[in-house]
Amino acid sequence: MKYPPSQRTLGKTLVILSVLGILFSLSGIAGLWITKPRLQAGLMEFVEILDNTLYTTSNGVKLLHDTLSQSQTDLEEVSLSLGTLRSTLESVTASLDISATLVGDDIRLTIIQTQIALSSAASGAKIIDDTLSLIDRIPYIGADYKPQVPLHISLEQVAGSLEEIPTALESLERTLKDTSTGLSLLSEDLVELSTDIASLSDDLGDAGEVLEEYALITQTALEKIETLRSKLPWNLSLISIFFTGMLLWLGIAQVNGILQGLTFWRGEQEVVNLADLSRND
């Protein structure tokens, strides 16, 4: 039996393609194992860079967490100090209110009453001075009353020196009340500031919790990277063996194509009929 030219051409094509397939398989296997060390080194370098990046990130997260924790502690101390200061200001405000009342009412009224009493005493002392002066003029009585400053004048001078004190005390009362009002406003501002600081401290606490989660994530990633780095050569070898088997199987499969192509390429085949063999016998 003689095959047509088209089938012989098909046979040549099958042989050539099958040979190319075998060469592709062999070159693929060779290239795979030649590039494996370089690929493994590149992957190990990438894993190392990733590990260093995660390690740096983990340290940064820990440092930031420690900083926020210290800041939160400092803010809590500031808030406590502001509370103490506010209590002190409230005590000072109460003392100033009492002092303003004492200065403006009690002491000022006492000075005014003292001034009135001295003026009254000066009037009485003038009568006494006049009487003593009259007695001093009477002969043979022996009274010697010649004071440098008569008593009523001394008392009037003392009363006059007290003239400006009530006004000064009234001014001092206003100053104390203004100071008390200012301290009260300052105390209210301290309460608001203390509230804001407490809120900020809570926000820092929330941020610290988020950073703890980040630290856990980065730590887990570092552990996985370490596992990947330790198993990467073995896994890469398994992958190489798998693809080697695939390419080898592909190359072996081309043998059948070569045989079939050679069959078409031969062009003639003698077909033996079993009936003819029996007839010859």
Residue 193 dihedral angles phi and psi, to the nearest 5°: -65, -40
**Residue range 36-57, pLDDT digits in tens:** 888 888 888 888 888 888 888 8
CA geometry: angle 48, 220, 229, nearest 5 deg: 30
Q: How much is the pTM?
A: 0.53
Sign of the dihedral through C-alpha 78, 80, 81, 82: positive
Report yes or no: 143 and 180 within 8 Å, Cβ to Cβ: no
DSSP for 59-105? HHHHHHHHHHHHHHHHHHHHHHHHHHHHHHHHHHHHHHHHHHHIIII
Indicate the domain borders of the chain: 5-280
Which CATH number fits the domain 5-280, given the four candidates 2.60.120, 1.10.3470, 1.10.287, 3.10.105?
1.10.287
Residue 267 dihedral angles phi and psi, to the nearest 5°: 90, -40
**Residue range 130-159, pLDDT digits in tens:** 666 656 565 555 555 556 666 667 777 777
Q: What pLDDT does residue 206 have?
A: 80
Among residues of the chain, what percentage have pLDDT more than 90? Answer: 0
| Cα 244 to Cα 226: distance, rounded to the nearest angstrom | 28
pLDDT band at 7 (very low <50, low <70, confident <90, very high): low
Helix (H/G/I), strand (E/B), else coil: 208? helix
Q: Strand ranges (DSSP E) for the chain? A: none
* Cα distance from N-terminal residue to C-terminal residue, the chain: 23
| Cα 170 to Cα 163: distance, rounded to the nearest angstrom | 12
- Average of pLDDT values for 242-267? 77
| Cα 273 to Cα 121: distance, rounded to the nearest angstrom | 171
Q: Which residue, among 276, 280, 266, has the nearest Cα to 4 in the 3D structure? A: 266
**Residue range 104-137, pLDDT digits in tens:** 677 777 777 777 777 777 677 667 666 666 565 6
pLDDT band at 274 (very low <50, low <70, confident <90, very high): very low
Q: What CA dihedral angle connects 100, 104, 106 and 110, to 10 degrees?
A: 150
- Average of pLDDT values for 192-204? 80
Q: What pLDDT does residue 100 have?
A: 74
On the CB side of 266, CA atoms within 13 Å amount to 9
DSSP state of 2: B
